């Protein structure tokens, strides 16, 4: 199904499929292609309206009868790490960060495969070969970086232990996909990568770190609520996450606007 705004781009809806987050739910996505000279402005503008990037596609959920999936972003200036988060930062303080162009290396791929085999062996990315991995990293029409984290042993050997594909938006950093050495279980590497992105955003004067979708009721996504202040995109605007908002998340089959109305409400950046 295709939906078109007067100034383009064109928007489409995926066929229904099983929801990866909530049992007995059906998922559909509203998406549009991302290419050309306006790609970066479009990525900035739609990210601020709850969309996420995957290679050259921007998407957000438009599920029938469910509005539980909400884009989430940390307000970097207001963030203060908890005691446990401070301990995570201290445990990983010797790691060296390197910011690189979006180029897939064998070292990245080996770590990625190790991560998937341990954490997501039955997920949608399982079995991804080097060419598919390279496409995920390199097929980006926007300003993207690979953030790598290295550990140096006592004999001076440097080892890649974590990485994150990150988009640089005009108002923040968007964490597209992160992975790390699953053997470092006591290091809380996933949390560290988020905390370091918040630190980078603050250093760069960027107000937000976009974490992807937060889904109340999904064990996979509960961790994102630990980074406060956290804003979620709901009913066309960003709201600070609190208990009242969590309790208000509904699954009313009549609660979602028709897709055509959702598309009509999207604000596109000015085009040259």
pTM: 0.92
pLDDT recorded at residue 5: 46
Residue 257 has pLDDT above 50, yes or no: yes
pLDDT recorded at residue 2: 55
Alpha-carbon distance of 83 to 70, in angstroms, equals 27
Residue 243 has pLDDT above 80, yes or no: no
100, HSE (Cβ side, Cα atoms, 13 Å): 18
Alpha-carbon distance of 236 to 83, in angstroms, equals 34
Q: If you average pLDDT over residues 58-80, what whole number do you get?
A: 93
pLDDT recorded at residue 42: 97
Residue 241 has pLDDT above 60, yes or no: yes
CATH for 76-204, among 3.40.630, 1.20.120, 1.10.150, 1.20.1540?
3.40.630
Q: What is the pLDDT of residues 125-166, one digit of tens each?
A: 778 999 999 999 999 999 999 999 999 999 989 999 999 999
Residue 58, beta-bridge partner list: 32, 53
**Cβ atoms 230, 78 nearer than 8 A:** no
Residue 146, classified by CB atoms within 10 Å of its CB into exposed (0-12), middle (13-18) or buried (19+), is: buried
Residue 54, classified by CB atoms within 10 Å of its CB into exposed (0-12), middle (13-18) or buried (19+), is: middle
CA distances from 33 to 9, 43, 49, 145, 243 (A): 8, 10, 16, 20, 36
pLDDT recorded at residue 228: 95
| Per-domain residue ranges of the chain | 76-204
């Amino acid at each position: 199904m295709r939906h078109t705004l007067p100034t383009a781009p064109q928007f489409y809806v995926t066929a229904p499929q099983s929801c990866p987050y909530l049992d007995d739910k059906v998922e559909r996505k509203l998406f549009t292609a991302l290419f050309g000279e306006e790609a970066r402005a479009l990525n900035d503008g739609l990210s601020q309206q709850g969309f996420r990037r995957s290679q050259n596609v921007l998407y957000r959920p438009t599920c029938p009868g469910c509005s539980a999936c909400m884009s989430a972003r940390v307000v970097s200036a207001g963030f203060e790490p908890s005691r446990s988060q401070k301990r995570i930062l201290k445990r990983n303080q010797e790691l060296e960060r390197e910011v690189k162009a979006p180029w897939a290396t064998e070292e990245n791929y080996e770590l990625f495969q190790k991560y998937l085999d341990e954490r997501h062996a039955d997920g949608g990315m399982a079995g991804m070969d080097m060419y598919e991995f390279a496409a995920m990293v390199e097929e980006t029409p926007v300003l993207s970086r690979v953030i790598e984290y290295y550990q140096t042993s006592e004999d001076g050997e440097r080892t890649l232990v974590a990485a994150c594909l990150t988009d640089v938006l005009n108002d923040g950093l968007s964490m597209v996909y992160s992975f790390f050495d699953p053997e470092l279980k006591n290091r809380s590497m996933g949390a560290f990568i988020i905390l370091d992105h918040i630190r980078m955003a603050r250093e760069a004067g960027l107000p937000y770190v976009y974490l992807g979708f937060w889904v109340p009721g999904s064990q996979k996504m509960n961790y994102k609520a630990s980074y406060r202040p956290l804003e979620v995109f709901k009913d066309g605007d960003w709201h600070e996450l609190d208990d009242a908002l969590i309790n208000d998340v509904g699954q009313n089959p009549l609660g979602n606007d028709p897709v055509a109305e959702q598309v009509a409400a999207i604000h596109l950046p000015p085009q040259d």
